[in-house]
Structure 1
Amino acid sequence: MNIRCLLVDDEPLAVQLLQKHIAQLPFFEVAGVCSNAVQALEVLNHQTIDLLFLDIRMPQLSGLELLKNLHRPPRTILTTAYREYALDGFDLDVVDYLLKPVTFDRFFKSVERYLRMNNQPLTSVLSSSEPQFIYLKSGYKYFKVDLRHIVYVESRKDYIRVVTKEKVIVSKYRLSDLEKELEGKGFLRIHRSHVVNLLHVSAFSASELEVGETMLPIGESYKVMVEKALRHK
């Protein structure tokens, strides 16, 4: 089920920017756009809205006044160009407070906070609509990675190196967590530090496995499982 968002802002450029950000996230949809709080009130009375992006300074009725008048407001992220309203917003138990112009990185942090508040893991939401892909964060960006193109994954302490056919992505992630996401999708743990894509295995011996042009060690405790898995491929 999509997460339905309502955008309330009297600045067209601000609305367009939010629409652009939301369009980059699967499972999120813009259910409506309102230029003032009165229109928003009408929508909220007749539609189910999961997440409200609400400007504060608007004609007729401010965003804060709208929130105060809602009996059961949806989760709300405030957007404004004025820092002085931040404390008022948090007094109303909002998810977050975004300063305009809203960057994608800051927008994404607000979305993460919203998902945590609703006990929805970010990775499951991002990957659930397209199971042949996963999303990996590297630096300030989330990269959409085709599972078929992953050759192998290597653990480096608190980070992982995801080696694909095109590039290498370094992400702050635990290999054990990624292994759970990849379960049942053609991947095999061969070592405490390595998970391989079975599509790219070209040869193996009792102690090593070849993926692409790379030889990877097979851990002692994984040998029986690896041999069983590969011999039945």
Structure 2
Amino acid sequence: MIIDDEYPARVLLNDYASKLPLLQVVASCKTALEAMAVLREQTVDLIFLDIQMPELTGLEFLQSLTHPPLVIFTTAYADYALKGYELNVVDYLLKPFSFERFVQAVNKAAERFQLTQSTPSATPSPIIQSEQKSFIVVKADHKLHRIAYEDILFIEGLREYVAFHTVSGKVITLESLKKLEEMLPAETFIRVHKSYIVNKKKVKSLYGNQLDIAGHWIPIGKLYRDEVVKHLFS
């Protein structure tokens, strides 16, 4: 749930959340009183909470909850950071914050949420290996995406998430590059950096320590350079 009295802030948080398959926005509220009504009707696992709001501040709202869900503060004021940690909030996002910083906060929330679950291993993997060799099925945005190997340009690691950069766009899912490196066919894909796997067939050129893939410059890690040159340019 998003609680923020500023409309642009709610729009930004909704946009950020829509990019992560782990999140589903169940409500976007402009006041804490609206949020209280939502909490009476349904269960919420995580709240993105502004502090300076009319009628009831974020701090007052949080302190009023007997069993609060996980909370990430989103505020333009750094003065409340200590109070936030006293209230055991997951993270403190200081506006304006980037998508990368948002992902870091969500990762913290996910880790804490898993600790509260009795059977975290029961959660299915968002990556489903296809029996065929031509595509992979990815769970993202509450949908199953069938991504053909030939359409993948490169895969970027975002800590606990990965982004599939394809010829038609980007798909972000909860997974690790290490697991993908083991799953994807080695004749088509190669790890070139701790944060990147690339489609060998999409590499156009090598310039210094970077690969040109459809106009994207992908860095090559020092530990991977010899293997990259051997498999792609020898």
SS of 2:14's partner is: helix
Conservation of the 8 A alpha-carbon contact between 1:17 and 1:102: no
TM-score, with structure 1 as normaliser: 0.60
Conservation of the 8 A alpha-carbon contact between 1:138 and 1:171: no
Number of aligned residue pairs: 171
2:199 alignment counterpart: 163
Q: How does 1:102-181 map to 2 (within 5 A)?
A: 102-119=97-114, 124=125, 127-129=138-140, 130=144, 132=146, 136-137=156-157, 143-145=163-165, 151-154=188-191, 161-166=197-202, 167=213, 169=218
Q: How does 1:37-52 map to 2 (within 5 A)?
A: 37-52=32-47
Alpha-carbon spacing, 1:160–1:25, altered in 2? closer, same or farther (3 Å): closer
The correspondence for 2:30, drawn from 35, 38, 42, is 35
1:96 alignment counterpart: 91
Alpha-carbon spacing, 1:151–1:44, altered in 2? closer, same or farther (3 Å): same
Question: What is the CA distance between 1:28 and its match in structure 2?
Answer: 1.9
Q: Distance in 1 between matches of 2:35 and 2:98?
A: 24
Question: What is the CA distance between 1:152 and its match in structure 2?
Answer: 2.0
Q: Distance in 1 between matches of 2:48 and 2:158?
A: 26
Q: Distance in 2 between matches of 1:171 and 1:87?
A: 40
Alpha-carbon spacing, 1:40–1:138, altered in 2? closer, same or farther (3 Å): closer
Alpha-carbon spacing, 1:154–1:136, altered in 2? closer, same or farther (3 Å): closer
Alpha-carbon spacing, 1:163–1:77, altered in 2? closer, same or farther (3 Å): same
The residue type equivalent to 2:198 in the other structure is: V
Spell out, residue by residue over 1:62-111, the C-alpha distance to the aligned partner (whole angstroms, 9 max, x if none).
Answer: 11111111111111110110000001011111110001122111111101
The residue type equivalent to 1:75 in the other structure is: L
Q: Distance in 2 between matches of 1:161 and 1:23?
A: 24
Alpha-carbon spacing, 1:160–1:19, altered in 2? closer, same or farther (3 Å): closer
State the structure with more CA Rg. Answer: 1
Question: What is the CA distance between 1:39 and its match in structure 2?
Answer: 0.9
| Percent identity of paired positions between Structure 1 and Structure 2 | 36
Q: Distance in 1 between matches of 2:70 and 2:220?
A: 29
Q: Distance in 2 between matches of 1:171 and 1:111?
A: 28
1:74 alignment counterpart: 69
Higher relative contact order (CA 8 A, sep 6+): 2
Say yes or no: does 1:85 pair with 2:80: yes
Alpha-carbon spacing, 1:165–1:47, altered in 2? closer, same or farther (3 Å): farther
Q: Distance in 2 between matches of 1:29 and 1:95?
A: 18
Q: Distance in 1 between matches of 2:158 and 2:200?
A: 14
The residue type equivalent to 1:33 in the other structure is: S
The residue type equivalent to 2:78 in the other structure is: R
SS of 1:44's partner is: helix
The residue type equivalent to 2:26 in the other structure is: A
Output the aligned Cα RMSD. 3.8
